[in-house]
Chain A
Amino acid sequence: MTNTPSKGRRVATQQAVRKGGVPPTLVVALVAILASAGALAIQQPTEDPEQRAVVAPATRPLTSLSILCPAAVQGSPDLVIGQGVEGGTADDGTLVSRAAEGEKSEDLDLAPGGAGPVDASRDAVVVTGTGTRAPGLFGARFGGPGRPAAGQCAEPSGERWFVGVGAAGGLHESKLLLANPDTGPAVADLSLWSTTGELIDVASRGLTVPGHGSTVIDLAELAPNRDELAVQVTVSRGRVAASVSDDYTPLEGDPVSEWLPPTAAPATTQLVPGLPRTMDEPKLVLANPGADAGRVTLQVVGERSTFTPSGLKEISVGSGEVVVADLPPKLVKQLAEENASLRITSTVPVSGSLRAVVSGDLVHLPAVEELTGDSATALPGGAGSVLTLTPTDKAGQARVEFPGQDRDPETVRLTPGTTTTVPIPAKARAVVVRGTTAYVGSVRTITPKGASVLPLQALDVEQLIPDVRPEWP
């Protein structure tokens, strides 16, 4: 095609043709150019080879769930267990408690979908529900009649944060309990931060928890001469549930054993719900595990609006440090005026927890994980409990149920930027909240002898069945 020779004579003919009009070769060339341009115009835009569309994971009801309930303290009543499934459930499964250390186990007697005290060992136990008794399992221990305190049962999780943990020589001393609900060994790593930075020379890596076993780590031994620790528990093998017990001695009185709740993982925005209206010595403990220093500002999410108290200074948090800051008296004053949550906003991810003395009792108020859908907590039973709910993003509704109580569920409206409170009947042993939007919440109990705060825990009712497909070659 390209090799048609154009000899001199041909050129002459072409020129002869030109006189008559446009030469045909020119027409061909121009048509070809236009055709090329046209073809490019109808070309599909480029795109990367497409993987098959991701199918949302399927779900099915959970068939097995274990929770670690901490050991009882002096005067503790029975362990309270609840099952937060909607509309009750069939009795087609087992509910067993097994000592966290060892194989001793006993069946628990609890109506399906109900909540109430169960007759279980006073040691730390792993409560396992199987079949229909697994979805929505939750529970907690409570302090004796003289002193409100609460230690919630913990699900095994890949990562847990505890901020404001006390070690030797501080106001309080903490012990970490790690329990492995499975038969195979599990391995957990601890990372610790103190007010002077991350503790890297402590033997806190590769803690093996044998199958059906538990390990108690005395943080006073692990990190002597440190107080105000932040502890991260990460599980690298198997499943481990973690719980922290806390001992302190009040200014006037005998030593007291309590529990220290886990805190939400570091984030740039955190909410501490359920603040008591009156508190003494409120101290905010902030941990910044990151490599960058940050600044933290505080806001109050009140009943009607969110506001920033005037004249509040930013708290600077150095990288890898734990910072303990007194809540400004001005802020404490404003908190006393209404039920509110504290919003911690930071330039870098931080984890926070508020500690205060209420009626002579030391109370830990952790920042809590954002919840979507259903959540619940066991209740001590008795007067003085209030549920506070704060939506994090959009407006929505929350239905509040009290399992085992002959009461109609209460539906409350959640307005962004405000905190809603729901009074809790004195006899209720559990509360289940079903929200239509993202929210945080906790149950605050204040008696003349002290206070306790029970954050709402997300209910584990179903399991994801991931979509599985071959990898793109």
Chain B
Amino acid sequence: MTVTALLVSHDGARWLPAVLAGLDDQQRRPDHVLAVDTGSTDDSLDLITAAFGPDAVTVQPGSFPDAVAAALPRIDTEWVWLLHDDARPEPEALGELLEAASAHGADIVGPKLREWPSLRRLLEIGVTISGAGRRETGLERGEYDQGQHEKVREVLAVNTAGMLVRRSLLEELRGFDPELPVFGNDIDFGWRAARAGHKTVVAPEAVVFHAEAATRGLRTTPATGRRPHQAERIAALYTLLVNCAGRAVPVKVVRLVLGTCLRALGFLLSRSPGMARDEFGALFAVLGRPGRIRAGRAARRGLGDPRSDRLKRLLAPWWLPYRHGIDFAGDVASAVANQGRDAADRRRAARLESSGHVPMRRPDDGEDELADDSGLLVRFVTSPVAILTAVLLLLSLWGAREALHGISGGALSPAPEGAGDWWRLVTEGWHQIGQGTDAPTPAYLLPMALVGSILLGSATAAVSLLFLAAVPMAAWGAWRFGTVVAELGSGQPASRWIVGWAALAYAAVPVASGAWGQGRFGVLASAALLPWLAHAALGLADPSADRRWRAGWRSSLLLALLTAFTPSAWLFVVVLVVVGAALLMVVARDLITERSVWGPLLALVLTPPVLLLPGAIGILGHDVSALFLEAGRVVAQPAAGDLAAGRFGDVSAPHWIGLALLVPAVLAVLRPRTRVAVAACWVLVALGAVLAALLSHVSIELPAGSARPGTGFLLLVIQAALIVAVMVAGHGLRQTFAGASFGWQQPLAGLMAVVAVLVPLGGLLWWIAGGDNQLERPGESEVPAYMAQAAQEGAGHGVLMLHGSAESGLTWRVHRGDGVTLGQDEILALTGPDAGFDSEIRQLVSEPDADLVAGLPARGVDYIVMPAPADSQVAATLDAATGLTQASSSDRSTRAWQFDEPAEADAIDGDGPWWHPWVLVLQGVAILVVGVLCGPARRDRS
């Protein structure tokens, strides 16, 4: 057996010396050595000329297939051993290859490719191609060579780096396809060989180290272009289309188009728009030149059956691309998770560094984990923080026990039957509630619907979760935020006890304020989210521009969520950003002109309106100030005294507990050491108070009356800022006084500490002990059961409910489906006044004529109900009306009538605004884009 080693080089001077040495070290030396240089601009030509002599070297500008084709006539040996200028063979490589060839009767033999320079990682042991065109190696990413793949086996193809091939086969197949200059020519060659009945094996005993210079973009040649990914995809698509069976081509094309879209989406999700562009570029490049494919297929026509069983076995299984998709999603998720941990690690490292500690071992080291696991219980019972946390968690669950079942009351309407009802409200532009309306859906329904769907479609569970988890979430967020701010604000390591106090004090705000007990779920959700938003916003001051951007996007997403529940959040942040930017203009003018400084701030302010687009646009036809209605039923807003005490009116913890916080917060100003942070907190308080005062003078005109913009968020911010001020000022207080002589300051500080401790304790105890609240199980409906059941049959089957009396005026509402449920209150509040229906009812209750009575079912009314006490005049009028029949009711004093003509199920159906679906799509895209921008960049990881 005679062998010619053929080395193809192109700008490989970096690797050539080692490659040449490897060739020189071969135990079974090749009989001839030839080299083809494809037009290097570095010292490659000199290096190979020096090694092989000028006779053995040819210069052939072009691609790898061209180079092989050019050298082939000069080869007269039985075998050809192809080598790249970045592939270094192990000394026994050629010997092993030849042995495998003769032992297995193979026509092509490939070595085991290992990574160069890491030397340990496996690159390829034979390759195949998946249906999506992906190069499949069958190896885990970064798998180490531990001798686990030692069997010689048949494969579809082997890499051209180190490929030993019969000269006769090269001639028979007319070498490598010149249409595949760099990538994929090996797979195509192997595929053609297999079709022609030749055998390709991989010999793992033969090892070649490969730098994969072209694939990794270490080297760009005219052949690869500046987009190696696109070139790779072009090659893959071409290979698939020219080699597959003729009948499968149309299906293949469709599949590749869809696959490209999916892959591009995946790349977009991982913030690699360039890769996504490459995907489409490749698709268009291949499909745009069908002649090339036709020519390629014609050249392969005589090779043999493209659908033989042997080929099927060698190609990758059909499910492989889907597995890759799942892996990819998993990767993204873990990357996002890792990013959070990275940030935590970074901060911990910085803290340790500043405190001069020796860095700890990473706790997630394999060995430690085992030891830690075994001592989990021990660690738990010996950690006071863990025990306290668990106790508080249990207590908070106990306090919120009412929320374990469905609740309603105060600002909270009963939850609908399922999350599907919420989805309908979100996605439909026309709502079949009331008399049919196109009023905008409240923005918080989207996240609520999402949570509901996750909780197996239960809307009740979503509401319960909010009421159960708000307090622990608020405490957790406050703890995280407090730890960072305490350090930044006081310049000292954060004290667990003081930050713990702050977290508790903040967690007490949503319950002690009465937001929990009054069913103000918007405020509750905002309370749980606010510390997380504040924490994310801290990243806006990060030294790294990339992190600033990411913090900007992340804060904007959280702000959008907060704004959905409590719209004044956005207003507050806008004012805050304006004030902050103005301040920066004064103190650091050059800083604010930097794009990565003002950009994230702008993103923070402008993104929420885009993310909440349907509501923002939908409100335009209504009183625009209604944008600032808080989530839930329209309820009273806190007065000045309530705001100062952090209370929503009467159903709340005693006011004095809340007012007690003001004393230490004011006195905190006296500590010079932390005064900057405390002053900043007070500026926040002032902003919140001023905004609340301004909003209190705004009146929102609704069809049924007037309401005030919600100021619940401002109450939260004021409370949070006061707590932070006290927390920061409390740091180092003990140390300061420990060494000082006794004076008036020590007792004062002690007194303040006691007062401060009272605030969370009082609020939480009041709550846990079963403080006043308005929540109850959704009660019996006023609507007789059989009517409620009939109403379930279609939105058009409404029950007209009349309350009041002729003297004091009647109010009407139409009961449809489950009645008014969470999310419908705001829509109904915004529904434009239906003067026509008002006057029809006025006529109905005073002088009903037959035409009117006959016409009402067309407006989606089947029944009329007057709950007790029914006005006798109105009742008598309806009794005497023709076209109405008295209907029975469960309660004798409740009067009911049925229209003789039944209503149509689609009586109140209508068309939403034409732009609604488009705005929804825009919103979806915006959420997706911002979500991706929040995540880690792919480039960051590699």
Contact = CB atoms under 8 A, between A and B. Distances in A.
Interface of A: 1-8, 10-11, 14-15, 18, 23, 25-26, 28-33, 35-36, 39-52, 54-55, 57, 60, 63, 156-159, 182-186, 189, 235-239, 463-473
B240 to A, nearest CB: 55
A103 to B, nearest CB: 17
Contacts of B633: 473
Contacts of B706: 49-50, 52
B639 A45 contact: yes
B689 A36 contact: yes
Q: Which 3 A-B pairs have the closest CB atoms?
A: A158-B872, A46-B639, A39-B689
A40 B689 CA distance: 6
Contact of A470 (B707, B833, B872, B876): B833
A39 B675 CA distance: 22
B140 interface: no
A226 to B, nearest CB: 25
A63 B847 contact: yes
Nearest to A37: B689
Contacts of B703: 52, 470
A47 B640 CA distance: 12
A14 B676 CA distance: 10
A41 to B, nearest CB: 7
Given A3-B541, A39-B686, A464 B675 contact: no
A236 B876 contact: no
B682 interface: yes
Central interface residue in B636, B672, B676, B847, by most chain A CB within 10 Å: B676
B80 interface: no
Nearest to B722: A36
A473 B821 CA distance: 11
A34 B809 CA distance: 47
B673 interface: yes
Nearest to A8: B491
B690 A468 contact: no
A47 B636 contact: yes
Contacts of A464: 806-807, 846, 873
Nearest to B694: A39
B841 to A, nearest CB: 5
Nearest to A33: B682
B350 interface: no
Given A2-B489, A52-B704, A186-B879, A32 B682 contact: yes
Contact of A471 (B641, B813, B839, B842): B813
26 contacts: A2-B684, A3-B485, A3-B488, A4-B488, A4-B680, A6-B676, A11-B672, A11-B673, A29-B669, A29-B675, A36-B718, A44-B639, A47-B636, A50-B705, A51-B705, A57-B807, A57-B809, A184-B886, A236-B892, A236-B895, A464-B873, A466-B804, A466-B806, A467-B842, A470-B811, A472-B811
Interface stretch (B146-154, B617-625, B642-650, B787-795): B642-650
B810 interface: yes
A18 B675 CA distance: 13
A51 B810 CA distance: 12
Chain B interface mostly helix, strand, loop or mixed?
Answer: helix
B679 interface: yes
Contacts of A11: 672-673
Contacts of A31: 686
A384 B494 CA distance: 102
A11 B641 CA distance: 36
B803 A471 contact: yes
Interface string B1-12: 000000000000
Interface in B676-721: 676-686, 689-690, 692-693, 696-697, 703-708, 718
A463 B871 CA distance: 14
A378 to B, nearest CB: 24
B834 interface: yes
B580 interface: yes
A470 to B, nearest CB: 5
A145 B636 CA distance: 70
Given A1-B684, A469-B809, 18 more contacts: A1-B680, A1-B683, A3-B485, A3-B541, A4-B680, A23-B672, A26-B675, A31-B686, A35-B689, A49-B636, A49-B706, A465-B842, A466-B810, A469-B704, A469-B811, A470-B813, A472-B811, A473-B825
B637 to A, nearest CB: 6
Interface of B: 434, 484-485, 488-491, 538, 541, 576, 580, 583, 633-644, 649, 666, 669, 672-686, 689-690, 692-693, 696-697, 703-708, 718, 724, 801, 803-813, 820, 824-826, 828-829, 831, 833-834, 838-839, 841-842, 845-847, 871-876, 879-880, 882, 885-886, 892-893, 895
A372 to B, nearest CB: 13
Given A5-B491, A184-B879, A472-B634, A30 B669 contact: yes
A471 B825 CA distance: 11
A164 B171 CA distance: 129
B643 A470 contact: no
B485 A471 contact: no
B846 A28 contact: no
A393 B491 CA distance: 78
Contacts of B724: 2
Contacts of A43: 639-640, 643, 689, 692-693, 696
A238 B705 contact: no
A29 B675 CA distance: 8
A25 B679 CA distance: 6
Contact of B672 (A4, A15, A49, A189): A15
Contacts of A473: 633-634, 704, 820, 824-826, 828-829
A55 B806 CA distance: 11
A33 B669 contact: yes
B489 A3 contact: yes
B695 to A, nearest CB: 9
A158 B697 CA distance: 46
A18 B671 CA distance: 13
A18 B672 contact: yes
A410 B491 CA distance: 95
A35 B686 contact: yes
A56 to B, nearest CB: 8
B485 A1 contact: no
A47 B885 CA distance: 42
Given A3-B489, A46-B637, A36 B880 contact: no
Contact of A40 (B640, B666, B839, B872): B640
B680 A468 contact: no
Contacts of B682: 28-29, 32-33, 36
A40 B644 contact: yes
A49 B841 contact: no
Nearest to A45: B639
B805 A466 contact: yes
B258 to A, nearest CB: 46
A467 B808 CA distance: 8
A26 B680 CA distance: 11
Contacts of A47: 636, 708
B542 to A, nearest CB: 10
Contacts of A14: 672, 675
Contacts of B666: 33
Given A39-B689, A44-B696, A237-B879, A32 B886 contact: no
Given A3-B485, A57-B806, A186-B879, A48 B841 contact: no
Contacts of A48: 635-636
Contacts of A40: 640-641, 643-644, 689, 693
Given A3-B489, A49-B634, A238-B886, A156 B697 contact: no
Given A11-B673, A239-B876, A41 B886 contact: no
A41 B681 CA distance: 20
Contact of B685 (A36, A49, A235): A36
A23 B673 CA distance: 12
B844 to A, nearest CB: 9
A2 B488 contact: yes
Contacts of A1: 576, 580, 583, 680, 683-684
